[in-house]
Amino acid sequence: MTQQCWNATWENDMSVLKAVNVVAGYGAGDKVLHEVSLTLAAGQVTALTGVNGAGKSTLASALAGRLIPSAGTITLDETEVTRLSIQDRSRRGVVLCPQGREVFAGLTVAENIRLGAMTRPSSARKDAVEAIFEMIPVLAQFRSSRAGALSGGQQQLVAVGRALAADPKVLIVDEPSMGLAPAVVDSVYDLLSDLKETGVALLVIEESPLRLVDLADHVVVLRGGEVTTSGGAELLRDEGILTAALLGEGAMAK
């Protein structure tokens, strides 16, 4: 499949995390990703989109170390990390906020966030937790509440806060708007927009790309485990190109 690219000059010296020809799946001979490449840059947001089953969450897992690729390379600050575990990658600054939030329901909000801070020196963890409560004030009032008792939107903020407590260089956020009311989604995206200004390299994964129009700097579209289109955020505003990238050229004729 031929990959289409527009405005590809963003792959420059600002790059933090780079994946080259990554192949990955979940069992012997099972390939979900087929030689996928992308670059994440400091202080910029890359939108990763594609229909259900395109391989978005698999790519997130491969980048974060939850899933080890069978081929290809992943580098962080030009150092290869392809075969490092999710724990080792997190210590180096690649942090995943997974689809479905995955908060620890029986722990308090503060305890959940403290788990994210475990990658830091022990002397810095308490301050890291307090910094998250300052960054996300709505969570401060729930600091002693069990995370499982919170609403879905509040749990999403806990998941983002836990990821931020690890002090990421690269933050991968998988489907942050899934199942949330529009007002709650707005608050999550306001937080992501603020993070962009701190220099974190953000990869935000959404099946519905319109949510990313005002946030993204770059766009990568997956279909069938392959990158079909990549380029500037203007791609999200071009319905014809986006539909063809998501569904195939044949979709344009229907």
Indicate whether 143 belongs to any domain.
no
Indicate whether 148 belongs to any domain.
no
Indicate whether 112 belongs to any domain.
no
Domain with 58, as residue range(s), is 4-100+167-253
Indicate whether 59 belongs to any domain.
yes
Give the list of residues 6+ apart from residue 164 with CB closer than 8 angstroms, or none: 95, 116, 132, 135, 171, 195
Residue 16: what are its φ and ψ, rounded to 5°?
A: -110, -50
Cα separation, 66 vs 236, in Å, equals: 29
Along the 254 residues of the chain, how does pLDDT read in single tens digits?
445 543 333 444 579 999 999 999 998 777 999 999 999 999 999 999 999 999 999 999 999 999 999 999 999 999 999 999 999 999 999 999 988 878 999 999 999 999 999 999 999 999 999 999 999 999 999 999 999 999 988 999 999 999 999 999 999 999 988 888 888 888 888 989 998 889 999 999 998 777 888 899 999 999 999 999 998 888 888 888 788 878 886 554 44
Indicate whether 81 belongs to any domain.
yes
Indicate whether 139 belongs to any domain.
no
Which tokens sit at 248?
A: 């195939």
Cα separation, 108 vs 92, in Å, equals: 26
Max distance between CA atoms of the chain, in angstroms, equals 61
Please report the beta strands in 111-233, taking only residues with DSSP state E, as ranges in sequence order. 170-174, 201-205, 218-223, 226-232
pTM of the model: 0.89
Indicate whether 78 belongs to any domain.
yes
For the chain, how many structural domains are there in total? 1
Q: What is the CATH number of the domain that holds 81?
A: 3.40.50.300
Indicate whether 24 belongs to any domain.
yes
Cα separation, 95 vs 128, in Å, equals: 15
Give the residue among 85, 5, 65, 84 at the shortest CA–CA distance from 39. 5
pLDDT at 5: 46
Which tokens sit at 114?
A: 């403290």
pLDDT at 13: 54
pLDDT at 223: 94
